[in-house]
Amino acid sequence: MKDELPKIAIVGYGSMGREIEKLATAQGIYVTDVFDIDTPVNVNRNYDFDVAIDFTFPESVEENVRKLAGLKKNIVLGTTGWKAKEKEIKDIVNSESTGIVHSSNFSVGMQFFFRLAGYSAKLLNKLEGYDIMLSEIHHRRKKDSPSGTAKTLAEIILKEYDKKNKTAEDRLQGNIDKETLHVTSSRVGDVTGIHALLIDSAADTIELKHSAKNRSGFASGALLAAKWINGKKGFFDFNEVLDELWK
């Protein structure tokens, strides 16, 4: 990581973009440019920023990455729902010799929760009579369902818990088989994000829950990732940043 703070650009000036700008200013990080639908990235311009932070829409990700990587800019990618294009995006980053950090959730607290979820699922392999499910709640404007974070949690559970091998994300009619992890989604009001694991047996219930109070945790993590990726090349997951922090 470079010692100096990177200059950043914000791609997408919605609620997250504004939160990143506010926190960057508080940390002394200079925001050189803000891009949105009316002021897109111009591949014919020379920009002064080091790292672009993208919280836009899944359908915009590939084009944004192609433009930014073509300008030799590193990227923090906080948008979800683009994993079907992962190979193409990785190829772009590698061919342009730039760097990218991506995650379904840039909250450091959620990264901590990911590790708790994985350890809990691993412990369940040693126990009989327990079952586990996953639920998430977000504001009514959220477009993807389940959330990218819920999908990551589900992947972690399936990897660590031998008794589950698939997910059910839709409404169920009738019984659910023991090998299926049920993932539920609800949309209401202005909820920033609640993710919960429910572990149940005949004797007791254990609930692990992460509740985002606001967007500052996501913005803080994105800026941490921007500092980390500055000057690096390659395709990284945010958990690699935290692995380095927590080693």
- Tens digit of each residue's pLDDT (9 = 90 or more) over 114-145: 999 999 999 999 999 999 999 999 999 888 88
Query: Within this chain, do residues 174 and 220 fall inside the same structural domain, yes or no?
Result: no
Domain assignment present for 224: yes
**Backbone angles phi and psi of 126, in degrees to 5:** -90, 0
- pTM of structure: 0.85
| Confidence at residue 151, expressed as pLDDT on a 0 to 100 scale | 93
Which tops the pLDDT comparison, 174 or 24?
24
25-42 in b/e form (b: 16+ CB < 10 A) is: eeeebebebbbeeeeebe
Q: What is the dihedral of CA 192, 139, 158, 58, to 10 degrees?
A: -100
CATH of the domain at 229: 3.40.50.720
Domain assignment present for 193: yes
Q: How far apart are the first and last CA of the chain?
A: 16
Domain assignment present for 1: no
| Confidence at residue 172, expressed as pLDDT on a 0 to 100 scale | 83
| Length in residues, the chain | 247
Domain assignment present for 154: yes
To the query of whether residue 210 is one of the catalytic residues in this protein, the response is no
What DSSP line would sit under 193-214, residue for residue? -EEEEEEE-SS-EEEEEEE--S
Query: Within this chain, do residues 198 and 235 fall inside the same structural domain, yes or no?
Result: no
- The residue annotated as part of the active site, out of 138, 151, 164, 210, is 138
Query: Within this chain, do residues 74 and 123 fall inside the same structural domain, yes or no?
Result: no
Query: Within this chain, do residues 91 and 113 fall inside the same structural domain, yes or no?
Result: no
Q: Cα separation of 147 and 193, whole Å? A: 9
Q: Cα separation of 187 and 162, whole Å? A: 30
Among candidate residues 168, 184, 187, the one with its CA nearest the CA of residue 176 = 168
Query: Within this chain, do residues 50 and 125 fall inside the same structural domain, yes or no?
Result: no
Query: Within this chain, do residues 229 and 204 fall inside the same structural domain, yes or no?
Result: no
Domain count for the chain? 2
Query: Within this chain, do residues 112 and 204 fall inside the same structural domain, yes or no?
Result: yes
Domain assignment present for 160: yes
Domain assignment present for 192: yes
Query: Within this chain, do residues 134 and 206 fall inside the same structural domain, yes or no?
Result: yes
- Tens digit of each residue's pLDDT (9 = 90 or more) over 24-73: 999 999 999 999 999 999 999 999 999 999 999 999 999 999 999 999 99
Domain limits at 182? 108-211
To the query of whether residue 182 is one of the catalytic residues in this protein, the response is no
Query: Within this chain, do residues 196 and 220 fall inside the same structural domain, yes or no?
Result: no
Among candidate residues 160, 147, 80, the one with its CA nearest the CA of residue 116 = 160
- The residue annotated as part of the active site, out of 83, 85, 90, 142, is 142
